[in-house]
Chain A
Amino acid sequence: MHDHPLLEVNAIDTYYGDFQALFGVSLRVEAGQVVAVIGANGAGKSTLLKTIAGLMQPRGGDIWFDGELIENAPAFAVVKRGIALVPEGRRLFPSLTVEENLKIGGQLGRPGPWTLERVYELFPVLAERRNLPAPALSGGQQQMAALARALMANPRLLLCDEISLGLAPIIVRDIYARLPQIVAEGLSLIVVEQDIVQALSAASHVYCLQEGRIALQGPAGELTRESISAAYFGV
């Protein structure tokens, strides 16, 4: 019945004004798959996620999600179809409490496994701090809250933009340790990371972006260290 992948990005070109950030980028995500996108600063990783999430519209190419074209849909319509983005830098709403942040993540009322109770089970520390303003959380807790907020939308595809950025390694491991639990609920994942080791261990398929182009891709287990560093640094 489902012969098409969950997400299919075909040769998209995305611009910031006159500056082209993505050049013909293509990517596929199958249902239940974890895909990593790696690359140096400014390679276009965040732009790729923003384009998929509808925050930016590509000038060329197309994006299929579950058999529908979505490249021209605005972000609020894309999340209705089941794509949630954990933005870079967490971006919690500072004037809302932790619980209000989670509730607004679930305000569309998409059916699915994730409820307030379930995300509190996944991140018990958030339950303890539910009534605090979001900026009162530590960096790691804020990242958990941002992840939980995205889960509250009950997405079929979750996009995680640099969830390890600015966090202590032990906290990053703690957050990554919960990803299998999240994927077990049947959702697919795209993780964008600068931390290659982390990305390779979490994902089954890896894309490496270099200056807006896919420089390398393949199953996580088959890529050699040399090929990755060549694609990453362009040397």
Chain B
Amino acid sequence: MTEWANVILQGVLIGGLYAMFAAGLSLIFGVMRLVNIAHGDLIVLAAYVALIVTQALGIDPLTSLLLVVPMMAVIGYALQRGLLNFTLGEDLLPPLLVTFGLSIIIQNGLLELFTADSRKLQAGAIEIETFQLMQGVWVGVLPLIQFIVAIAVIAALQLLFYRTPLGRAFRATSDDQSVAQLMGLDTRHIFAMAMALSLAVVAIAGVFLAVRANFDPAIGPARLIFGFEAVIIGGLGSMWGTLAGGVILGVSQAIGAQINPGWQLLAGHIVFLVILALRPQGLFPKVSG
């Protein structure tokens, strides 16, 4: 019994990380209908940026977020203004192709610079600290911090979207680009702000990913899949749904792995496919069209 409680708890906590993978993806799609195939590789890029920052300054990974988050946000703004804005239009295909190419460029660029060796961010003693929640059920401190940060990120995005002028501009631009321009909104800037925000979340996700496990230049696409699955399970356009989607995916994988270690990824994909088949709009859909 406690064995299963442990398994499910671990699944829930890792679900927070998946929700952070998904939030940035969902935000970009919501604001500008851009499917960012390079999202997973940008997560890995953020991990390498954190690696450089922690090594150069001798600070721990969580502190490095203070630098990595703004750096990734600036990269996001520049990427959107300098490249992705030119791919947006009636056709959904050009951004898909360009971000696919970007994914390959990032992977190979990282491979050139850092080789294919596995790396990991060292967070020190906190990595293995745990406490007992109840008899036989143990919680890792770092996974718990990761989950709390994920909730905070989702809550912050929710507030930003529904309580601030920038969020209003995001929603208006998402609704109707040309009328948004009539309101004096420069949509190129709005899109770039959305990408900056997306990559700020990516930076947090990337650092937690890199503290939790080994990473190398090739693991991006799998993170993209997890992010996609969490978005679809939760329902497009719903931030809290994305968190739920991440948790469902995490728990499914944990249960699958408990039954048979080879079934971890398979179980997650199966649950995703079942939900897609039975409820294609996701569990908590927000957008209808």
A residues sitting closer than 8 Å to B (CB atoms) are 53-55, 74-76, 79-80, 84-85, 87, 91, 93-96, 100, 103-105, 107-108, 149, 153
Contact = CB atoms under 8 A, between A and B. Distances in A.
B182 A107 contact: no
B121 interface: no
Contacts of B186: 74, 76
Given A93-B171, A94-B175, A107 B181 contact: no
A96 B184 contact: no
B184 A93 contact: no
A75 B175 CA distance: 17
Given A104-B168, A104-B172, A91 B184 contact: no
11 contacts: A53-B182, A55-B181, A75-B178, A76-B186, A91-B176, A93-B171, A93-B176, A96-B175, A107-B165, A107-B184, A153-B183
Contact of B182 (A75, A95, A100): A75
B222 interface: no
B67 to A, nearest CB: 32
Interface of B: 165, 168-169, 171-172, 174-176, 178-187
Given A87-B179, A100-B168, A104-B168, A95 B174 contact: yes
Contacts of B184: 76, 79-80, 107-108, 153
Contacts of B169: 104, 107
A93 B185 contact: no
A74 B183 CA distance: 12
B182 A84 contact: yes
B182 A93 contact: no
Contacts of B183: 76, 79, 104-105, 107-108, 149, 153
Nearest to A108: B184
Given A76-B182, A100-B171, 5 more contacts: A79-B184, A80-B184, A93-B176, A94-B175, A96-B171
A53 B175 CA distance: 19
- The listed residue with most B CB atoms (<10 A of its CB), out of A54, A76, A103, is A76
A130 B100 CA distance: 43
Contacts of A80: 184
B86 to A, nearest CB: 15
Contacts of A149: 183
A79 B178 CA distance: 12
Contacts of A94: 175
Contact of A55 (B171, B182, B185): B182
A168 to B, nearest CB: 24
Contacts of A74: 181, 186
A84 to B, nearest CB: 7
B239 to A, nearest CB: 14
A155 to B, nearest CB: 11
A53 B183 CA distance: 11
B182 A96 contact: no
B178 A107 contact: no
Contacts of B175: 93-96
A94 B171 CA distance: 9
B182 A79 contact: yes
A93 B172 contact: yes
Contacts of A55: 178, 181-182
Interface-central residue, B172, B176, B185, by most chain A CB under 10 Å: B172
A128 B116 CA distance: 63
Nearest to B289: A94
A107 B185 contact: yes
Contacts of B185: 76, 104, 107
Contacts of B179: 87, 91, 93
Contacts of B165: 103, 107
B162 to A, nearest CB: 9
A79 B182 CA distance: 6
B235 to A, nearest CB: 15
Nearest to A54: B181
Contacts of B171: 93, 95-96, 100
A104 B164 CA distance: 11
